[in-house]
Structure 1
Amino acid sequence: MTIVTALVSLLIVTACDHDFYETGDGELSYLHTDFVEAKTNEFSAFTSATTDDGTQLTLKPAVKTLWAKSADSTYRAILYYNKVENGVTSSFAINPVAVLHPRLALDFPTIHTDPVGFESVWMSKNRKYLNLTLNLKTGKTDNKKIVQALSIVCDSIKKQPSGGRNFYLRLYHHQNGVPEYYSKRIFTSIPLDGIKQMDTIYLNINTYKGQVSKHFAY
């Protein structure tokens, strides 16, 4: 939770720093955008990435960021990149994606479901993640220790007569006193480790417009 809380804070600061859409033949006209698993080298610079549809990309030159600090590691990220030639591309930007591992309800002293802005949720093409696009309301505060927290609560798992299982999940969100002056879009991913064929995922999200319920058959 501590890592995710810090990452959410970072995402709110860095999200939407660029407008990645441009008409005509400008610098960004042919930009690609993909969720990826990106790998760093011994200098903590990104050198390669695999998109959710399985495309392997080599990043040249290597991309050094302030947020990726671990060498020889794999990060979940959203990659903005140019035309690919022979599997090689140059990166325009690479931003972190918060990875929300489901945790049992008993692991939380208090379960917060403060509302969020909901845009979309979908299963990645490789079926490894549920991806969510959310809008968190935020604002400047003098207390730097006050940050929002996100997680995924697993309320229950029920076995079905067919042999599959139903996973009942909900979004944990703690506003934690952060001012709600304006919205920032963030991207998050829920790993589907342990989910098998015939399983179904039920996800509930408390939004400013009421409860949103989605389900996905694996």
Structure 2
Amino acid sequence: MRHLIIYIVAIMAFFCSCEQDSYDKGEGTYSNMTADFVEAHVNSEKKIDYAITDNGDSLVISTPIEVSWTKTADSTYRAILYYNKMANNTAKIMGLSQMNQLRVTSRDSIKVMKTDPIGLESSWASNSKRYINFAFTLKVGTVNENSALHRITLVADSITLHKSLNTLHMTLFHDKGDIPEYYTEKYYFSLPVSIFNTVGADSVNIRINTSSDGFKTIGYNLRE
């Protein structure tokens, strides 16, 4: 096993505020609404004009919209899109939330390693193979997610070679700080697979201190 030196900017993933329309349940305007994880494209006017879902479907936004977190023109943002699908792959936006993205940093850049327990509801690779997605549950002090100050990122520990497969081993860094644990809320995170091209990783193992089962390791083969 050799120590990994990884040149990726260390970014702590903080919780982002969401811009999402409220909606009713049952029959009516929102009864046929679909929710998908997407890459939302921002045009030259900083408006979202189309989106690519994790299933690879391309959706043209019927009325392009601008939200506060689309700062860069001609770029893409990871988001959760709530929409009604119309004819010719057109989508009417009913709600839109920016999605948290996990980043990777080297162990050397972490002064004090924190692995506070975190609720791991599920994890899965997108059908497009571009992302590994996570559903985490966290204890927060109020129902207002803007008050949440958890710090979450991935720390690269080492890389191993076995049967021509390079595996990157990582640990989830989680610092819950002094947040009172009054409520449990769910948050979705995405890990862009493209960042592993930097180190030539063919698979990843992620070690997580879960609230229910203690430390567990989940793995994904990036070749499949």
TM-score range, shorter chain: 0.7 to 0.9
Matches within 5 A, 1:3-152: 4-5=13-14, 8=15, 10-11=16-17, 14=18, 22-23=25-26, 25-140=27-142, 147-152=149-154
Matched residue, 1:168? 169
> How many angstroms apart in 2 are the aligned matches of 1:129 and 1:19?
28
Task: List gaps (5 residues or longer) in structure 2.
Answer: 1-9
Using the size of structure 1 for normalisation, the TM-score is 0.84
**Are the counterparts in 1 of residues 42 and 72 from structure 2 also a CA contact under 8 Å?**
yes
Aligned-residue sequence identity (percent) comes to 29
SS in 2 for 1:127: coil
SS in 1 for 2:108: helix
Matched residue, 2:7? none
CA RMSD of aligned residues (A): 2.8
Matched residue, 2:188? 187
CA distance change for structure 1 residues 16 and 151 in 2, over 3 Å: closer, same or farther?
farther
> How many angstroms apart in 1 are the aligned matches of 2:79 and 2:201?
28
> How many angstroms apart in 2 are the aligned matches of 1:172 and 1:17?
32
**Are the counterparts in 2 of residues 133 and 188 from structure 1 also a CA contact under 8 Å?**
yes
- Counterpart of 1:159, as a letter, is L
> How many angstroms apart in 2 are the aligned matches of 1:119 and 1:15?
24
Matched residue, 1:214? 218
Matched residue, 1:204? 207
Shift of 1:85: 1.5
Task: List gaps (5 residues or longer) in structure 1.
Answer: none
SS in 2 for 1:132: strand
Q: Is the deviation greater in 90-99 or in 25-34?
A: 25-34
Runs of 4+ in structure 1 off by over 6 angstroms are none
Matched residue, 2:4? none
CA distance change for structure 1 residues 114 and 85 in 2, over 3 Å: closer, same or farther?
same
Aligned residue pair count: 208
**Are the counterparts in 2 of residues 148 and 173 from structure 1 also a CA contact under 8 Å?**
yes
What per-residue deviation string (whole Å, max 9, x for no partner) do you get for residues 110-154 of structure 1?
A: 2211111111100011111110011121114xxx99822111111
Shift of 1:63: 2.2
Using the size of structure 2 for normalisation, the TM-score is 0.82
SS in 1 for 2:13: helix
Shift of 1:17: 8.2
> How many angstroms apart in 2 are the aligned matches of 1:135 and 1:167?
25
Shift of 1:65: 2.0
- Counterpart of 1:46, as a letter, is I
SS in 2 for 1:82: strand
> How many angstroms apart in 2 are the aligned matches of 1:15 and 1:207?
29
**Are the counterparts in 1 of residues 120 and 135 from structure 2 also a CA contact under 8 Å?**
yes
SS in 2 for 1:178: coil
